[in-house]
Amino acid sequence: MRVVIQRVSEASVIIGDKEVASIGNGLLVLLGVVNEDNHEDINWLCNKIVNLRIFPDENNVMNKSILDLGGEIIAVSQFTLHASTKKGNRPSYIKAAKPDVAIPLYEKFVEELQYTLGKPIQTGEFGADMKVNLVNDGPVTIIIDSKNRE
């Protein structure tokens, strides 16, 4: 699993003309899934995300987590995170898991992230054409791949 985590002062997801998710201070988490991903990847990533110290403390040092802040999270599926651009100019998405594998893992990720955070999170809609709006605070953007833990 690969995530792009963005610290935001606000973020929202729009599908069609309807806003389906909206948060203030918190994290926008984009998630990409491959066939080899499993529940161990989910547990490790969820713990990493909620404990990641990327929010400023009273000395303006990135020393607080989303748990410390009591902030919100939006999680959005994004298969393009596993794009291969090795050959040519058209990205290949062959590594990205197909919906029959990716949807249950995405849903389990959302469930586990809510449990680990201790409150509900908001989401986009798997496979939908979404418009994601955000104000990246910092800017702070972190990329984590559960297959590169060491």
Question: Mind listing the pLDDT tens digit for each residue in 86-140?
Answer: 999 999 999 999 999 999 999 999 999 999 999 999 999 999 999 999 999 999 9
Active site residue 116: no
Q: What's the one-letter identity of residue 62?
A: M
Q: Which of 6, 79, 116, 122 is catalytic?
A: 79
Q: Which string of b and e fits 26-48 if b means at least 16 CB within 10 Å?
A: bbbbbbbbbeebeeebbbebbeb
Active site residue 79: yes
In a domain, 127, yes or no: yes
Would the CA dihedral through 20, 25, 26, 31 be positive or negative? positive
In a domain, 102, yes or no: yes
Check pLDDT > 80 for residue 51.
yes
Res 56: pLDDT:
97
Check pLDDT > 80 for residue 143.
yes
Domain, as residue range, for 85: 2-145
In a domain, 32, yes or no: yes
**130/90 Cα distance (integer angstroms):** 21
Res 149: pLDDT:
83
Question: Mind listing the pLDDT tens digit for each residue in 3-50?
Answer: 999 999 999 999 999 999 999 999 999 999 999 999 999 999 999 999
**145/41 Cα distance (integer angstroms):** 9
For residue 120, give the nearest of 2, 7, 4, 21 by alpha carbon: 21
Both tokens of residue 30? 């984009």
How many domains is the chain partitioned into structurally? 1
Active site residue 85: no
Question: Which CATH number goes with the domain that contains 128?
Answer: 3.50.80.10
Q: Which of 6, 78, 116, 122 is catalytic?
A: 78
Contact (Cβ atoms closer than 8 angstroms) between residue 110 and residue 46: no
In a domain, 21, yes or no: yes
Res 113: pLDDT:
98
In a domain, 150, yes or no: no
Query: Which ranges of the chain would DSSP assign to H, the alpha helix?
Result: 39-51, 66-69, 99-117
In a domain, 112, yes or no: yes
pLDDT classification of 79: cutoffs 50, 70, 90:
very high
